[in-house]
Amino acid sequence: MTIKPILDRVLIEPKRKENETKSGIILNASSTERPELGIVVALGSGKTCENETIDFELKINDKVLFNKYAGTEISLYGKDYLILKYCDILAVIE
Amino acid sequence: MTIKPILDRVLIEPKRKENETKSGIILNASSTERPELGIVVALGSGKTCENETIDFELKINDKVLFNKYAGTEISLYGKDYLILKYCDILAVIE
Amino acid sequence: MTIKPILDRVLIEPKRKENETKSGIILNASSTERPELGIVVALGSGKTCENETIDFELKINDKVLFNKYAGTEISLYGKDYLILKYCDILAVIE
Amino acid sequence: MTIKPILDRVLIEPKRKENETKSGIILNASSTERPELGIVVALGSGKTCENETIDFELKINDKVLFNKYAGTEISLYGKDYLILKYCDILAVIE
Amino acid sequence: MTIKPILDRVLIEPKRKENETKSGIILNASSTERPELGIVVALGSGKTCENETIDFELKINDKVLFNKYAGTEISLYGKDYLILKYCDILAVIE
Amino acid sequence: MTIKPILDRVLIEPKRKENETKSGIILNASSTERPELGIVVALGSGKTCENETIDFELKINDKVLFNKYAGTEISLYGKDYLILKYCDILAVIE
Amino acid sequence: MTIKPILDRVLIEPKRKENETKSGIILNASSTERPELGIVVALGSGKTCENETIDFELKINDKVLFNKYAGTEISLYGKDYLILKYCDILAVIE
């Protein structure tokens, strides 16, 4: 069973405290405005609510930075995911 | 008697607690911001208020995730439904 | 004497408690967010304030669902009506 | 001396209590959200602030329904008028 | 020395109490929502912030009605002026 | 070292109390809503955030009126400057 | 490992107190509305959320002024960065 995002939404598996040290990215847990890290799990079609078609500048398995408040949380088989609009993803970590 | 959504609206039959365990999707009831599950019952024409024509990326009987606050509740013959804009549906569960 | 809606407005005669049982639609009176039922009495030209031309997906005598707060109430010869924008009508009941 | 509305504005002479009985339109004075009746006195050019050109679906001497709060009040030689945007006029009473 | 409005702005010399009686326009001083009278002193280029070009439906020396709150006040050699956007001018008094 | 404004921004050196008497422009210090005077020091490219290209109706060394709250203040070698969007400049004083 | 901004975002390394004296730019620490200085570290593709393509008027290693509140803070290997939209960068310091 899979979650297929609609339109220009992206499904992300958040990677919080566990990979911060390895990646060198220190996300200050005390600051709620700092972005979070995650892995891209699924991409929507790229159509927007305004009927434009965008090209995603990221692909499945990319590590991305996003603002947590922008997404909608969901749990599937005990794993947490976020669905958020492509435009709320800030950067790809390569 | 049927409910025919106007424009880009979608009629959804919410599936709450009863199918969470089967589907593996755990929607935390204590969190009001978590999305809900539902089944697509009817689709509008796909025209928007701005006079665009969108292609629905879902079909009748699809299981979808949506933000409950975005829809309008209605009861028909004792069954609850929601009418919401296509753009407020987050993902299809396949 | 008739009321001719301007632009993309629709004139509706609200049908409240009296036809809920017959139609099977139960509108919970205690919930102010539930939509109301009504009959389409007159349609505007279909031009919008943004100078678009829309095609109404409803016709005179259609039974429709709408959000009451969206309309403007008026009384004519003792009958109550609502004038509301086409985009605020949610669905046609067939 | 005349008042010539600019752009898509309409000059209206409000007709309040005096013609309600004759016209059959009962505007509930206790409800501030009910629209008012008026007579169209002058029309602007039909150009909008966004540089569109609209066609007025009303003419001078038409009886119209409008939301009072939307207009700007003015007095000329002891008579009260309202200037309001065409889009805030709800319907023509014929 | 002159004040040259930028874009679609209009420079107006307000005419308050002194000409109300002569013109027959009674602006109720107790109502802050009533518009004010003024004389057009200078016109901008007619370009808007959105890069459109509008045609002014008024000319220098026209007597106009405007909403005071919409303008920015300035004094030049002891005279008061207002700079306001063309779209905030309601009507020309002829 | 110079400050080069980006897009449709304008760099302005504010001229406050010192030149008010000479210019005849009296800016009432007690009124925070009155605009301020300044000299244009540098112009951006004229491209806007919406990807339009505007033509500046002002040039370097022009004396301009602007709303102070619209700009961002900066100090360079002890001199105060403001960076503001072209659209927030009200008029050129000639 | 690098941070690649998405769309029209810019990655900036803030330069606060340490270079203010050298550059001559005095950013008043007591004023939270004053902009900050930074060095451009990486540029996105230049596509916007509205599907436009903009040309950056800055390049890597440029010293820029920006409003701190507009950006999202992140730490990488102990260094602080900001990701912000191109349109929130005010000026280049040359």
Ranges of chain B whose pLDDT falls below 70: 17-34
In the numeric block, the tokens 């013109």 are attached to: E23
Contact (CB<8Å) C94/B51: no
Count Cβ neighbours within 10 Å for each residue of E56-83 and write b for 16 or more, e otherwise: bbbeeebbbbbbbeebbbbbbeeeebbb
Residues of chain E positioned with their CB less than 8 A from the CB of D83: 35, 65, 90-91
Distance from CA of D46 to the nearest CA of C (A): 11
Asked if C82 contacts C37 with a C-beta cutoff of 8 angstroms, the reply is: no
Which residues contact residue F92 at a Cβ distance below 8 angstroms, ignoring those fewer than 6 apart? E3, E4, E6, F57, F58, F62, F63, F64, F65
The yes-or-no verdict on residue G25 having pLDDT over 90 is no
Q: Which CATH number fits domain B9-93: 2.30.33.40, 2.40.128.20, 3.40.50.720, 3.30.413.10?
A: 2.30.33.40
| The pLDDT value given to residue C8 | 97
- Give the best residue of A74, A79, A85 to mutate against chain B (max B CB count within 10 A): A74
| The pLDDT value given to residue B31 | 45
Residues of chain C positioned with their CB less than 8 A from the CB of B84: none
F59-64: average pLDDT: 97
ipTM: 0.85
| F94: nearest CB among E4, E9, E77 | E4
| The pLDDT value given to residue D79 | 86
Residues of chain A positioned with their CB less than 8 A from the CB of B52: 50-51
pLDDT band at F77 (very low <50, low <70, confident <90, very high): confident
- Counting CB pairs under 8 A, whether chains C and F reach 3 or more, is no
Chains interfacing with F (3 or more CB pairs < 8 Å): E, G
Chains interfacing with E (3 or more CB pairs < 8 Å): D, F
- Give the best residue of G27, G32, G90 to mutate against chain F (max F CB count within 10 A): G90
Distance, in Å, from the CA atom of E70 to the CA atom of C20, rounded to the nearest integer, reads 49
User: Is residue E47 classed as helix, strand or coil in its secondary structure?
Assistant: strand
Structure tokens, A76: 């599937």
In whole angstroms, how large is the CA radius of gyration of chain G? 13
Residues of chain F positioned with their CB less than 8 A from the CB of G23: 1
The yes-or-no verdict on residue F60 having pLDDT over 70 is yes
| C51: nearest CB among D33, D54, D92 | D54
| D57: nearest CB among C1, C7, C72 | C7
* Cα separations in angstroms, B22 against A5, B16, B91: 21, 11, 18
| The pLDDT value given to residue C31 | 45
G34-60: average pLDDT: 94
A1-23: average pLDDT: 80
Distance, in Å, from the CA atom of F21 to the CA atom of E86, rounded to the nearest integer, reads 30
Distance, in Å, from the CA atom of B9 to the CA atom of A57, rounded to the nearest integer, reads 30
Residues of chain C positioned with their CB less than 8 A from the CB of B11: 91
Residues of G with CB under 8 A from a CB of F: 23-28, 31, 33-35, 48, 50, 52-55, 57-58, 64-65, 67, 86-87, 89-94
Chains interfacing with G (3 or more CB pairs < 8 Å): A, F
Residue predicted with more confidence, B17 or E57: E57
Candidates C15, C2, C10, C1; CA nearest to C93 is C15
Distance from CA of D74 to the nearest CA of C (A): 24
| The pLDDT value given to residue F83 | 95
The yes-or-no verdict on residue D76 having pLDDT over 60 is yes
Q: Which helix (H) or strand (E) holds F9?
A: strand F9-15
Query: Would you give the DSSP letter of residue C82?
Result: E
Contact (CB<8Å) F54/E73: no
- Dmax (CA) of chain B: 41
pLDDT band at E35 (very low <50, low <70, confident <90, very high): confident
| The pLDDT value given to residue B27 | 54
Residues of chain A positioned with their CB less than 8 A from the CB of B89: 6
Chains interfacing with D (3 or more CB pairs < 8 Å): C, E
| F91: nearest CB among E4, E51, E78 | E4
C55-71: average pLDDT: 92
Residues of chain D positioned with their CB less than 8 A from the CB of C70: none
Average pLDDT along chain C? 84
Contact (CB<8Å) F31/E73: yes
Asked if B89 contacts B82 with a C-beta cutoff of 8 angstroms, the reply is: no
Distance, in Å, from the CA atom of D74 to the CA atom of D82, rounded to the nearest integer, reads 6
Distance from CA of B27 to the nearest CA of C (A): 24
| The pLDDT value given to residue D21 | 53
Structure tokens, A49: 């609510």
Sequence spans of domains, chain G: 9-93
Tens of pLDDT, residue by residue over D14-47, are 987 544 555 556 554 444 456 889 999 999 999 9
| C74: nearest CB among D55, D65, D94 | D65
Distance, in Å, from the CA atom of E5 to the CA atom of F89, rounded to the nearest integer, reads 9
The yes-or-no verdict on residue E18 having pLDDT over 50 is no
Q: Measured at the alpha carbon of residue A73, what is the angle toward residues A67 and A78, in degrees to the nearest 5?
A: 130
C14-21: average pLDDT: 63
Which residue type, as a one-letter code, is found at position C50? E
| The pLDDT value given to residue C40 | 98
Contact (CB<8Å) F50/G55: no
The yes-or-no verdict on residue A28 having pLDDT over 70 is no
A39-68: average pLDDT: 95
Range of B18-32, D10-24, F26-40, F65-79 with top mean pLDDT: F65-79
Residue predicted with more confidence, A76 or G47: G47
Residues of chain D positioned with their CB less than 8 A from the CB of E57: 6-7, 44-45, 47
Which residues contact residue E93 at a Cβ distance below 8 angstroms, ignoring those fewer than 6 apart? D1, D2, D3, D4, E23, E25, E37, E62, E63, E64, E65
Query: Would you give the DSSP letter of residue A34?
Result: S
Residue of C nearest to B77 (CA): C24
